[in-house]
Amino acid sequence: MASGKLVILDRDGVINQDSPEFIKSPDEWLPIKGSLESIARLSQAGIDVVVITNQSGIGRGLLTANTLGRIHVRMIDYVQQYGGKIQSILFCPHHPDDDCACRKPKAGLYDELATRLNISFQGVYSVGDSLRDLQAARAAGASPVLVKTGNGKKTMKQISQDADWDTTPVYDNLSSFVDAFLADQVVA
């Protein structure tokens, strides 16, 4: 897989509606308008889509790994109904206090993906709605992109106070990012 032929997405707040109560069942997984079509457009353009997501609801005892698997099957099925494909889903199941290497903002899941695919993330966009998404992408060598869905508006306020994030592209939603990406016009 060549750099530029891969886009990494966070899940909650980017693909589906986020919830402060966590997404604990397939019925609670509700796509953000346009996100499924956007993933399909990437797939149809020959771009591989990988999801990297923190799922601490498992570590908190709010859902099981089996239930998370059912949620992901629902997401994959919905994406396929639009003609898209999610190549892989990597998730951190740990509680935030566990100090694991895989929970964003650490880059452990990105490192795992890089090893699996034998790639670097130079030129690869990673789309998220939270500061930890952006930090993990940057730590892994990917290009972070912020969307305003989910926690994105709050994150936009956070990063606006920090010049280190001045060049981070910001889009209204996944659909507007995909429009720019497919037109080769992603800009900060």
Task: Check whether 133 is labelled as a binding-site residue.
Answer: no
Active site residue 12: yes
Task: Check whether 179 is labelled as a binding-site residue.
Answer: no
Given 12, 18, 48, 133, the catalytic residue:
12
Rounded (10°) angle between helices 131-140 and 152-160: 70
Residue 170 phi/psi, 5-degree rounding, is -125, 130
Task: Check whether 184 is labelled as a binding-site residue.
Answer: no
Task: Check whether 98 is labelled as a binding-site residue.
Answer: no
Active site residue 97: no
Check residue 159 and report its DSSP letter. H
The helix/strand/coil state of 91 is: strand
Closest of 2, 3, 10, 24 to residue 144, by C-alpha: 10
CB atoms within 10 A of CB 60: 14
Rounded Cα–Cα distance for residues 11 and 119 (Å): 22
Spacing of C-alpha 33 from chain mean position: 16
CB atoms within 10 A of CB 105: 15
Task: Check whether 95 is labelled as a binding-site residue.
Answer: no
Burial class (CB in 10 A: 0-12, 13-18, 19+), 179: middle
Question: Binding site: what residues are annotated?
Answer: 10, 12, 92, 94, 100, 102, 129
**Residues catalogued as catalytic:** 10, 12
Question: Binding site for Zn(2+): what residues are annotated?
Answer: 92, 94, 100, 102
Question: Binding site for Mg(2+): what residues are annotated?
Answer: 10, 12, 129
